Structure 1
Amino acid sequence: MLSNPSLTPPCNKDGKDEVNYVGRFAPSPTGPLHFGSLITAVASYCDARAHRGKWLVRIEDTDIPRIYPGSEDHILRSIDAFQFDPDAEIIFQKDRLNLYEAVIEQLHQQGLVYACQCTRKMLGSNHIYQGTCRNLDLPLEHQAIRVKVDDQEICFTDRLQGTHCCNLQQDLGDFVLKRRDGIINYQLAVVVDDYLQGMTHVVRGADLLDNTERQIWLGQLLGYPKLQYMHLPLAMNDQGQKLSKQNMAQALDLTQAPQLLQQALRALRQPEVDLDRPAQMLQQAIAQWDIALIPHCTELHGHYL
């Protein structure tokens, strides 16, 4: 486990662990928030509040070249427009790069990561990394950094999707924590920040379901506590594609926040709430929150823009 005091999760004034539930909404600013993002925000917020827990917001912006101009501002304005109430200051991952570098150095000292000089062209179409550079002992500078995985099955029980398993060595191979261009990989940043922010529960879209075993593996290597996961079904457009920035999903119209909030709760199959100010609607939704009503599938089919 990390011994650096700056890499220690929060405690309350008595030095005891925080509340039993800490959740988060962690959008990436590669475009403005869309309806699929709203579903995740609503579900994560209601689930945390229904458990009398804390809810935090984190902007996952380590992939700096992909940040879409104005998207961070739209995310922050959306939090205000829908009257979500985070329990701590919003953090930005691009301000925390030194923390991720410290974790990579820790893993390096333990012999758990190595430098990789393989390019995409060299790897070709094979999506399973064969460990080409694992024993070359290359210098870390100006190379990708991969973490070693073992030949073992990792399983977790998702609160919606049931049991999910993966053998990382057989299905993926050693995976990248830092790219050759210096960009910190999502897998590392999310694991470190979930630990440092004291997360206990992760509620997010089913498109991230297959990332979970990698994050569990990293957490095990670092001695972090286990998390509870709930992967929500994805809202799909009329072409059967998930709503995303890449598929040109429409930005949330913040002037229609109450109506959009009502639609998001309907998509989650929650009991009806009265059309009102978002804060009042959220309070009603929290009082009625029931994850058993959320479709236990990976896709929501309907008319979602």
Structure 2
Amino acid sequence: MRIVVTGCSGQVALSLAERARERPDLDVVTVGRPHLDLARRESILPALERHRPDLVVSAAAYTAVDQTEDEPDLAFAVNAVGAGAVAEAAACLGVPVIHLSTDYVFDGFKEGNYAEDDATAPLNVYGASKLAGEKAVAAANPRHIILRTAWVYSPFGKNFVKTMLQLAENREEIPVVADQWGNPSSAPDIADAVFKTAAFLIRSRQNEISGVYHLAGTGTVNRADFARHILSVSRARGGPWSRVRSVTTEEFPARARRPANSSLSTARFAATFGWTMPDWQHSIESTIERLVQAKHG
């Protein structure tokens, strides 16, 4: 199966490429700028067509959450119009699309885990642009799976885990918000789930499994306790460690508002595809081990 992934440097794209090297049945091709630029709609179909995919994974996005507040037009051009154009191009090629979305489509006021049919109400430009992208993807290609995930981390790119380890190198104490709750999600685990989803989509010539699914690490935690666990695992492996001081979102404001609770229920994904992401505590171990080994040789 040839899977063409939009984006070359994102955490999920890199994880898909790495995981595929262990799978002789899979050929993963990542395509990004300048050949494929979501802000240039005309570049998308030729870039995908060149690689003759059996399935497209729409992973590229404008993910700098705070920065999107200052560049809303670009955020919507990439995350909404661009995502829709990827799905449309896949439809033109006669192949399905798997699109990555976010927990930030919710406002965070619900108690407990969000299900796929809960009302969406993004608090920030990023979430609004990704929600618009979901709608554009669904409208452009009937053979689609939209995977909402959350708090993604990996050995690649920029993410919360790497930030905590970097800060711990030269700080005795790190302030982290303790009133935001969610599901830490390993990008390599997401890659495994995407491959399972792709196999279902390829086998299914109908649209009965098309729709929105939540896909995130099992278990919920707040940001401060997540940071404590990251640094505890790091210290056990000879990596950096610092104390974590719990603060409130009000004490530590960011440019873009974040939902207080964006925990996701993954029951629908498990029921449909027969797979659940591992506990977040389990998956964090391998990522931190890789990062510590890379730092210290």
Question: Normalization by structure 2: what TM-score?
Answer: 0.30
* More helix, by proportion: 2
Question: Normalization by structure 1: what TM-score?
Answer: 0.29
